[in-house]
Amino acid sequence: MRRIVPETLDRMAAALLILAIHLFFAPVPAQAAQGAGWGRIALFPFVNLSDDRSAVERVMPVIRGILEERGLDLVGEEDLNDFLLRERVRDTGYASRELAAKAGRDLGAAAVLLGSVNSFRLGKNPAVGFTARLIDSTDGRILWAEHASATGDDFTGILGLGRIDTMDSLIPAVARRLLASLPPARPYAAGKAHPYRVAVMPFRNNSGVSDAGMIATYMFLVELFRNPEYEPVEYGDVRRAIVELRVRERGELDFEDMKGLASILPVDGFLVGTVETYSDGSDTSSPPEALITARLLDARTNRVLWCDSLQMNGDDDIIVLDWGKIRSVDGVAFRIVSGLLERAAKACREKLPPPAARSSGPKAASRNTVPEKRVPVVSKPPPEEAGGAVESTTIAPLPEEDETDEVSESARRSPPDVSRTEVFFDYDSSEIGRDAYRRLRALADSLRGRSIKAVSIEGHACAHGPAWYNYRISRERALAVKRFLVENADIPEDAIEVSYFGEERLLYPERPESESVRAPEVRKNRRVIVTVVYGR
């Protein structure tokens, strides 16, 4: 009996383990009608990062069918294709804020669903893998992100049952796993109060496998989204900033690039890295293997907060009899990404700046919010000064007590050791209007011939509209005033320090849902402050 009992217990334990694995890998059942009333979604074609050219053609009908089963309202394919053609969208694997906003305006979409096919392998043991993200059309924020990958052997259960041996059966099984949590219960992830906002830069690819760097980039976006301490910036915005600044190097960032990117993207840090190895093992009959290195750089201090690398293969987590084996290289890569970010979270817990010092990032915006647009910056006299007419809709009058030029007159008569001048702006504009021009002209006249030690300019915005836009418009206002002083007060550009705070430093606490953007108190928040320190 002493010999039989342990053997019996071993068999029972093995049977329970097999049953648990079978239940874990069982296909996720469809959840009908869970998306009813959530909002219309523009389903972009997934970008193909696999080696099979037919992957997207075979995957997208399945993805669309599953979403429609759930009751989600999808933009029609014909309307979507016309939109992508009209906007000249070449890569549908990412979307900038501007593109998402256009999809909202032109297609009536509340969000854009996009993703990538990371692996697509036919044969006796087919394999397929995806990443996907849901982007809010009002502010470009990532609302949901997920990854899923599997091979046919991964579905093998007790007695070898359940194995999938055709791609036509594998695609829907993996796609249902990918979309199981879509749509999210709420439009924004709960618990992310003042998260550390991260721009994931495109990973350098040293593996020799095409697109391995972008696969890792998208995986890091998914895993960062899952962590309540972090908020990843949608790659479409990162890509746009890279193109605008002509940042060519992958896997590295110098101080100048960090400074330039931080001036465009409201982020706290940058994640950079390299894919050194990315092998599915098919050529050598070995397990899939990957090696990834990554670094987290703080945008404010230019410090390396964390740096690490991790190498794994598909056999590392085997428990017994191939249970725990990872049979796809993208499955191994995602396990590495999860492990790296888990290490980063532990290492950076004490190094991250306090919440109050972090970027506010985008916030949910009203559907009636004026979308972002480029506003011309002027340093010439407004139409009234040049003999033209002033449109009544372009400039809202300042409160009565602000119509005077007392500060400017005082500066003109006898400038103090330190002077402070405030100018105000219209909503959704960085254009120097009538009152602002008069104040700045008086200030410029008072500065000529004076010994000046320092000039600082602060840009601010009201709380109406999304925070990312308010951050950006406050920057444009500050730069407009800087340009005016450079051109009209003969102050060198490098002598002027510029900072911008968006809606972080409101003079007047607002209630955007009930207050007009033209309210005098609200307009006081849309200001630029010029501080001049005079020499003796």
CATH number for position 11? 3.40.50.10610
Range of the domain at 508: 400-534
Mean pLDDT of 104-110: 94
What are 215-249's pLDDT values in tens digits?
999 999 999 999 988 999 999 999 999 988 888 77
Asked if pLDDT for residue 88 goes beyond 80, the answer is yes
Asked, for residue 96, whether it belongs to a domain, the answer is: no
Asked, for residue 6, whether it belongs to a domain, the answer is: yes
Whether 213 and 243 map to the same domain: the answer is yes
* Residue finishing a domain among 141, 161, 188: 188
% of the chain surpassing 90 pLDDT: 46
Least confident of 96-110, 118-132, 221-235, 449-463: 449-463
Highest mean pLDDT of the ranges 195-209, 313-327, 388-402, 411-425: 195-209
Whether 465 and 348 map to the same domain: the answer is no
* Residue finishing a domain among 188, 216, 246: 188
Asked, for residue 393, whether it belongs to a domain, the answer is: no
Q: pLDDT tier at 174 (50, 70, 90 boundaries)?
A: very high
Whether 17 and 161 map to the same domain: the answer is yes
Prior bond of 183 cis (ω within 30°)? yes
Mean pLDDT of 318-331: 77
Q: Return the pLDDT at 39.
A: 84
C-alpha pair distances (Å), 320 with each of 14, 20, 160, 161, 209? 9, 14, 15, 18, 31
Mean pLDDT of 265-289: 87
Q: What mean pLDDT is reported for the chain?
A: 80
Asked, for residue 132, whether it belongs to a domain, the answer is: yes
From 16, 24, 26, 25, select the one nearest 320 (Cα to Cα).
16
Asked, for residue 372, whether it belongs to a domain, the answer is: no
Highest mean pLDDT of the ranges 14-23, 237-246, 357-366: 237-246
Whether 206 and 174 map to the same domain: the answer is no
Whether 142 and 197 map to the same domain: the answer is no
Whether 12 and 119 map to the same domain: the answer is yes
Q: What is the pTM of this model?
A: 0.63
Take residue 206 and report the two structure tokens written for it.
């040293």
Q: Return the pLDDT at 423.
A: 94
* Residue finishing a domain among 356, 375, 408: 356
The set of long-range contacts for 80-86, using a CB threshold of 8 Å and a minimum separation of 24, is 80/42, 80/43, 80/44, 80/107, 83/42, 83/107, 84/44
Whether 477 and 501 map to the same domain: the answer is yes
Q: Return the pLDDT at 283.
A: 61
Asked if pLDDT for residue 368 goes beyond 60, the answer is no
Whether 196 and 162 map to the same domain: the answer is no
Whether 195 and 130 map to the same domain: the answer is no
Asked, for residue 92, whether it belongs to a domain, the answer is: no
55 close to 171: Cβ distance less than 8 angstroms: no
What are 448-499's pLDDT values in tens digits?
888 888 899 999 999 888 877 888 888 899 999 999 998 888 888 878 888 8
Which residues, listed in sequence order, are joined to residue 146 by a DSSP beta bridge?
132
Whether 49 and 145 map to the same domain: the answer is yes
Whether 154 and 214 map to the same domain: the answer is no
Whether 184 and 195 map to the same domain: the answer is no
% of the chain surpassing 70 pLDDT: 76
Asked if pLDDT for residue 385 goes beyond 70, the answer is no
Q: Return the pLDDT at 100.
A: 94
Q: Decide which of 115 and 352 is more confident.
A: 115
Highest mean pLDDT of the ranges 131-135, 325-329, 471-475, 501-505: 131-135
Asked, for residue 125, whether it belongs to a domain, the answer is: yes
> How many domains does the chain fold into?
3
Q: Return the pLDDT at 159.
A: 67
Mean pLDDT of 119-148: 94
Mean pLDDT of 281-296: 85
131 close to 222: Cβ distance less than 8 angstroms: yes
Asked, for residue 306, whether it belongs to a domain, the answer is: yes
What's the angle, vertex CA 19, arms to CA 14 and CA 20, rounded to 5? 100
